[in-house]
């Protein structure tokens, strides 16, 4: 009787998984704000208001050059958008942030005012991982915020498994590693061994400001400033932490599932 009631209740509720990416992406919450946009031409000489309030040095202004914003260091705290009196730094509410190259996260470079969103893996790698991707998650000194949003993707509303993407317990069963945290000195060897245990060909994804640059711990000698110095990274997903939609968007772009949506 209880089994019958459970089945009937499930049928009445219908499918609970969101329609994305086959429909519009859900709106980000107001407090998130999405990707930032930098209009370096709006920064007058001598104004360092945004530079002074940035807790990680993500915004810089070198003598003789324009203002740059490194989204790989950015915590998306919004302090710069409030401090800038000229509206040079603004929120876009765009969830798309993942890139393939570290340099692509730096805004303000001449001719590169917009993010160059991640391109798909090459043809050979896409044929291997495009329909089935297994990732070993490595928390290399993270605070558990990024890890929590990774776990959200496994809930019924997101259902990461419908895309053939799964987290596995052993690197020997994995196609790549998903790294969070600044890679502390105590986790450096563990990450190296995990990476080496993944069979080739393999991929590595740096998720969150810590894994990309060290995040709020930038400059601390007890970490490696992210995963780059330890393993070669194929995908960078910035944020502190990244929204689950940003993470999913990055995964799908890497696998060539969102080519039609490239900005």
- Are residues 256 and 126 in contact, defined by beta-carbon separation less than 8 angstroms? yes
What does the pLDDT profile of the chain (263 residues) look like in tens digits? 668 777 777 677 666 788 889 888 888 888 888 999 998 888 887 788 888 999 999 998 876 678 899 999 999 999 999 998 888 899 999 999 999 999 999 998 766 667 899 999 999 999 999 889 999 999 999 999 999 999 999 998 899 999 999 999 999 999 999 999 999 999 999 999 999 999 999 999 999 999 999 999 998 999 999 999 999 999 999 999 999 999 999 999 999 987 544 33
H helix runs in 140-224, sequence order: 145-152, 185-197, 209-213
Burial of 8 (0-12, 13-18, 19+ CB in 10 A): exposed
This prediction has a pTM of 0.90
Helix (H) or strand (E) holding 5: helix 2-13
CA atoms within 13 A on the CB side of 13: 11
Tens of pLDDT, residue by residue over 7-65, are 777 677 666 788 889 888 888 888 888 999 998 888 887 788 888 999 999 998 876 67
Contacts of 37 (CB under 8 A, 6+ apart): 89, 90, 91, 92, 107, 113, 114
Q: What is the DSSP string of 59-102?
A: EEE-TTS-EEEETTT-----HHHHH-TT--EEE-------BSSG
Contact 150, 204 (CB under 8 A): no
Domain ranges across the chain: 123-261
Q: Which fold has domain 123-261?
A: Rossmann fold (3.40.50)
Pair 25, 245: CB distance under 8 Å: yes
- Residue 80 CA, distance from chain mean position: 20
């Amino acid at each position: 009787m209880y089994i019958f009631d459970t089945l009937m209740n499930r049928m009445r509720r219908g499918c609970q998984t969101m329609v994305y990416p086959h429909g519009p992406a859900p709106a980000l919450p107001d407090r998130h704000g999405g990707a930032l946009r930098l209009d370096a031409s709006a920064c007058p000489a001598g104004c360092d208001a945004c530079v002074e309030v940035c807790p990680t040095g993500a915004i810089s202004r070198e003598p003789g050059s324009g203002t740059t914003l490194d989204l790989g260091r950015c915590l998306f705290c919004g302090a710069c958008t409030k401090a800038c009196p000229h509206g040079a730094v603004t929120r876009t509410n765009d969830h798309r942030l993942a890139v393939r190259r570290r340099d692509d996260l730096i805004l303000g470079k001449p001719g590169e005012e917009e993010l160059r969103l991640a391109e798909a893996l090459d043809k050979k790698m896409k044929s291997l991982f495009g329909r089935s991707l297994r990732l070993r998650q490595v928390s290399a000194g993270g605070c558990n915020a990024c890890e929590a949003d990774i776990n959200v993707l496994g809930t019924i509303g997101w259902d990461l498994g419908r895309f053939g993407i799964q987290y596995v317990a052993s690197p020997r069963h994995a196609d790549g590693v998903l790294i969070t945290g600044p890679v502390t000195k105590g986790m450096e060897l563990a990450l190296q061994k995990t990476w080496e245990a993944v069979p080739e060909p393999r991929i590595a994804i740096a998720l969150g400001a810590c894994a990309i640059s060290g995040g709020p711990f930038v400059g601390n000698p007890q970490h490696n400033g992210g995963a780059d110095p330890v393993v070669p990274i194929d995908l960078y997903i910035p944020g502190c932490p990244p929204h689950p939609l940003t993470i999913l968007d990055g995964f799908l772009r890497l696998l060539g599932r969102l080519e039609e949506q490239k900005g």
